[in-house]
Structure formats: structure tokens, C-alpha cells
């Protein structure tokens, strides 16, 4: 197919807000990167990025005059964000790298589309499209690699990686999401050779890439390739359970579950609470994510495929829905492939529909039963609650009160 207006039928391209932004920027602007790549590959398009020969100041002037909100997200690197009712557009001035240190780059603006393309990471990310959908391949290699689903660096792979060592992880991420067959040999060798440079990167950047790799359908192969290249021991040395990880990825794919990147990443680990804390500090996990990982890896509740309905309800009450579901998925990944699928799925379904019952016994009721103020109230309440849970959350108030009386008579007087 001719490149002329090739993307003209793309929904995102013809959207009213997209048209408004592109019309405002004029002929010096083109779509770039992921939107063009994914549309050509038949993949979903989320972010729509734009490149322009205009300076950030001129872009801001044009958009503001049109009443479009502009946020200077990376003005030193030529990037602003256009905010419209339907989506945000990242708009970046064409640029060349002046100086790089493996983590960041100093840039200069240019009007040369070829020079802008040369500074990008992979050939499949160096395609542009006009507002009418006409595709441009300034380097002459992107279209061929997109057709072959081949991920490879632009020009000298070693030079591209030296500009930003995060590109090592990005290579595995893009191959996991878009590649076909074995990784490009030259790119893979360059990544392996540059692996020590990954130690320069911040925990946040490494974390984000690891989670993006883990979310891919081909994440299992990607992690194995990273391990073989000596890269995984640097960025995730705790990953000792790739076998469980690969099984979990397969389960989510086969059962048509939405991929859960944090669960997948945690499945590679076999850590105690201290180990999780150290990992979380290094990768700058949020407190919420750290607590979730710690819970799923350290909880000792018995979770097996043959749990009774009563046992499932008890586990849900004691550890909560999220930890229960995480433990179920990890248990499923430990099970023999193809075994107990119905049972594991049934437990997940129960968790999704479960409503936590209210324990109706209050501190006031316990005091009325003769328990004095102080820690005894909490102890008695816990004992009665344990009985109530074992009784499958009976809603018989008379039985609960009778149990309260029995506990008080046996342990308080």
C-alpha cells in the first residue's frame, strides 16, 4: 500500500480534538512514534504524540491563541502538553542530542526530520505521519522492520544505548510487545555488553520498565532472555521463580484475564518481609504496592484448589479480597498445568462477588456482659469473633450473645 494517506481512516487521527490540534499547529507538525507504529501494526493506540519544527514557545503561542490549554511538561527538551477534552497530546520540537551521559541528554532544536529520527531508539519508533495520514520513514528502515515485527536500534546499537542505558530494558519491552521470533542478534549483544550501565539508572525508571515488560503477552520469554544476557541479575537479582512467573503469564493469557503487572513481577520472587522492604526501597514502589507484594508473598493462609466454600469465605474475611486473589493466582501457577482450572476460577469468582459480613458484637455489648474497661474487652471480642468466623459468620444474634456469655464466664470471672 502507498504511504500516501495510509492512516487516513485511523479513528484517533480523525477525532475532532486531534484535528483541532493539528490544524492549529499547521503543516510543520506530524504524528510520531507509538501512534504511527501501532496503527501500522494493527495494535491499539493510546497516546498520540506529535513532532513539530516549531519551537516550544511558538507551539504554546499557537495553541493558546486557539483556546487550547498548554502545560510545559518538559520545556528544556522541547516538550509541551496540549490538553483537550478527549485526550492529552505531547508535542515535541524536532531535536538533536548535543550531550548524553547514559541517563539524560542535552538537546538542541532543529528543523531536520532526518536528524530528529536519528536520535530515536528503534527503527519502528522513527516513523511520522502527516495530518492527512501520509506516512514518512526518514531513515528508510522503519517500514520494513514494522512489517517483519523486528525490533532493532537505529544505527549503531552501542551508541544508542550509551545515550541512555534504559534503552536496554526498552529493547526487551518492545520486543515482548511487538516483536516476532528471536530478538535481533546485534541488538541483543549490544544490550548484554552494556548491562553494567543499568546500575546508573534510578529505581523508578527501572521499575517502570520492568512492569511494562511483565505486562506483555511474551513476558516469560523476555525475562528468560534478560536472564540469559546477564541483565535480569542486575535489575532484579531477587527473581528466583521464573518458572512460576511463566506459568502465571500463561494462565492469564489462556484464561483471557487482564494482565496484572505487579502480580506477575511478584511471582518471580521468593522473599520474606525484609526482602520485600529492601526491594521496594530500591525500586521505589509505592507503599500500597509494597504492602500488596509483602502480603501475597508472606501470608501463610492455606490456599489450595480444593478449599470448601466455607474455607474460602473464612480466608476472604481474614486476609481480604486482594491478598486472597493474589494467593489464588500464585497457587494456580504452582499447580500442574491444566489441573483444577475450574476450582481456581471458581475461587476467584467467589472473591469478586463476596461481601464482607459485619461482626455485630460491640464493645458496649461486651461491657454489658460484665467485662471491665481495658484490654480484656479486645481479647474477649477477638475470641468471640474467631468463633463467629469458624461458625461461617452466623447472623443469629442469640447464638453470638450466648457465645459471649460463655467466653466471659470461662475467662473473665
The C-alpha atoms of residue 367 and residue 74 are separated, in whole angstroms, by: 62
The C-alpha atoms of residue 145 and residue 162 are separated, in whole angstroms, by: 22
pTM reported for the whole predicted model: 0.90
Percentage of the chain beyond pLDDT 90 is 89
Kindly indicate the confidence band of residue 16, based on its pLDDT and cuts at 50, 70 and 90.
Answer: very high
How confident is the model at residue 103, as a pLDDT? 61
How confident is the model at residue 110, as a pLDDT? 86
How confident is the model at residue 378, as a pLDDT? 93
Asked if residue 131 lies in contact with residue 117, where contact means CB atoms within 8 angstroms, the answer is no
- Considering only residues 387 and 4, tell me which one the structure prediction assigns the higher pLDDT: 387
Asked if residue 384 lies in contact with residue 394, where contact means CB atoms within 8 angstroms, the answer is no
The C-alpha atoms of residue 285 and residue 60 are separated, in whole angstroms, by: 35
Kindly indicate the confidence band of residue 4, based on its pLDDT and cuts at 50, 70 and 90.
Answer: low
CA dist 378 → 144, 343, 383, 401, 406 (Å): 70, 37, 9, 16, 16
Extract the C-alpha cell encoding 100: 548524553
Query: For 301-336, b where at least 16 C-beta lie within 10 A, e where not — what string?
Result: eebebebeeebbbbbbbebeeebbbbbbbbbbbbbe
Q: Tell me the longest C-alpha to C-alpha distance in the chain.
A: 90
pLDDT digits (tens, 9 = 90+) for 81-126: 999 999 999 999 998 876 666 566 667 888 999 999 999 999 999 9
Question: Would you say residue 195 has pLDDT above 50?
Answer: yes
Average pLDDT, the chain: 94
CA dist 389 → 69, 191, 296, 300, 351 (Å): 55, 54, 22, 18, 16
CA dist 349 → 201, 204, 317, 332 (Å): 41, 34, 15, 14
Separation of first and last alpha carbons in the chain: 89
pLDDT digits (tens, 9 = 90+) for 286-303: 999 999 999 999 999 999
Mean pLDDT to the nearest integer, 2-18: 86
How confident is the model at residue 1, as a pLDDT? 46
Of the candidates 145, 140, 190, the residue with the CA atom closest to the CA atom of residue 168: 190
Question: Would you say residue 196 has pLDDT above 90?
Answer: yes
pLDDT digits (tens, 9 = 90+) for 304-359: 999 999 999 999 999 999 999 999 999 999 999 889 999 999 999 999 999 999 99
Asked if residue 32 lies in contact with residue 127, where contact means CB atoms within 8 angstroms, the answer is yes
Kindly indicate the confidence band of residue 365, based on its pLDDT and cuts at 50, 70 and 90.
Answer: very high
Kindly indicate the confidence band of residue 411, based on its pLDDT and cuts at 50, 70 and 90.
Answer: confident
pLDDT digits (tens, 9 = 90+) for 127-186: 999 999 999 999 999 999 999 999 999 999 999 999 999 999 999 999 999 999 999 999
Amino acid at each position: 500500500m502507498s504511504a500516501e494517506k495510509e492512516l487516513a481512516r485511523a479513528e484517533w487521527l480523525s477525532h475532532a480534538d486531534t484535528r483541532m490540534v493539528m490544524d492549529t499547529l499547521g503543516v510543520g507538525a506530524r504524528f510520531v512514534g507509538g501512534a504511527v507504529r501501532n496503527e501500522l501494526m494493527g495494535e491499539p493506540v493510546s497516546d498520540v504524540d506529535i513532532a513539530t519544527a516549531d519551537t516550544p514557545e511558538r507551539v504554546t503561542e499557537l495553541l493558546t491563541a486557539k483556546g487550547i490549554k498548554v502545560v510545559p511538561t518538559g520545556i528544556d527538551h522541547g516538550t509541551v502538553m496540549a490538553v483537550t477534552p478527549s485526550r492529552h497530546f505531547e508535542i515535541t520540537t524536532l531535536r538533536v542530542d548535543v550531550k548524553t551521559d547514559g541517563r539524560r541528554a542535552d538537546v538542541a532544536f532543529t528543523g531536520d526530520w532526518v536528524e530528529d529520527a536519528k536520535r530515536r531508539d528503534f527503527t519502528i519508533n522513527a516513523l511520522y505521519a502527516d495530518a492527512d495520514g501520509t506516512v514518512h520513514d526518514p531513515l528508510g528502515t522503519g517500514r520494513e522492520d514494522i512489517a517483519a515485527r523486528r525490533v532493532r536500534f537505529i544505527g549503531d546499537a552501542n551508541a544508542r544505548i550509551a545515550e541512555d542505558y534504559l534503552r536496554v530494558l526498552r529493547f526487551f519491552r518492545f520486543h515482548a510487545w511487538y516483536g516476532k521470533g528471536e530478538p535481533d542478534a546485534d541488538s541483543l549483544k549490544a544490550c548484554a555488553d552494556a548491562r553494567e550501565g543499568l546500575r546508573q539508572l534510578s529505581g523508578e525508571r527501572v521499575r517502570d520498565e520492568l512492569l511494562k515488560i511483565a505486562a506483555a503477552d511474551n513476558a516469560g520469554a523476555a525475562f528468560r532472555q534478560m536472564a540469559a544476557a546477564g541483565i535480569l541479575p542486575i535489575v532484579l537479582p531477587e527473581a528466583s521463580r521464573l518458572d512460576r512467573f511463566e506459568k502465571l503469564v500463561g494462565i492469564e493469557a489462556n484464561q483471557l484475564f487482564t494482565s496484572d503487572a505487579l502480580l506477575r513481577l511478584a511471582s518471580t520472587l521468593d522473599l520474606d518481609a525484609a526482602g520485600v522492604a529492601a526491594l521496594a526501597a530500591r525500586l521505589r514502589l509505592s507503599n500500597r504496592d509494597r504492602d500488596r507484594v509483602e502480603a501475597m508473598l508472606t501470608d501463610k493462609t492455606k490456599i489450595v484448589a480444593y478449599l470448601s466454600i466455607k474455607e474460602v469465605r473464612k480466608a476472604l474475611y481474614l486476609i481480604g479480597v486482594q491478598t486472597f486473589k493474589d494467593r489464588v493466582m500464585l497457587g494456580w501457577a504452582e499447580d500442574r498445568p491444566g489441573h483444577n482450572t475450574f476450582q481456581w476460577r471458581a475461587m476467584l469468582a467467589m472473591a469478586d462477588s463476596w461481601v464482607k459480613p459485619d461482626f455485630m458484637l460491640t464493645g458496649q455489648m461486651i461491657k454489658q456482659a460484665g467485662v471491665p474497661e481495658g484490654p480484656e474487652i479486645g481479647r474477649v471480642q477477638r475470641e468471640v469473633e474467631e468463633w463467629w468466623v469458624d461458625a461461617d459468620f452466623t447472623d443469629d444474634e442469640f447464638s453470638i450473645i450466648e457465645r459471649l456469655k460463655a467466653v466471659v464466664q470461662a475467662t473473665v470471672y
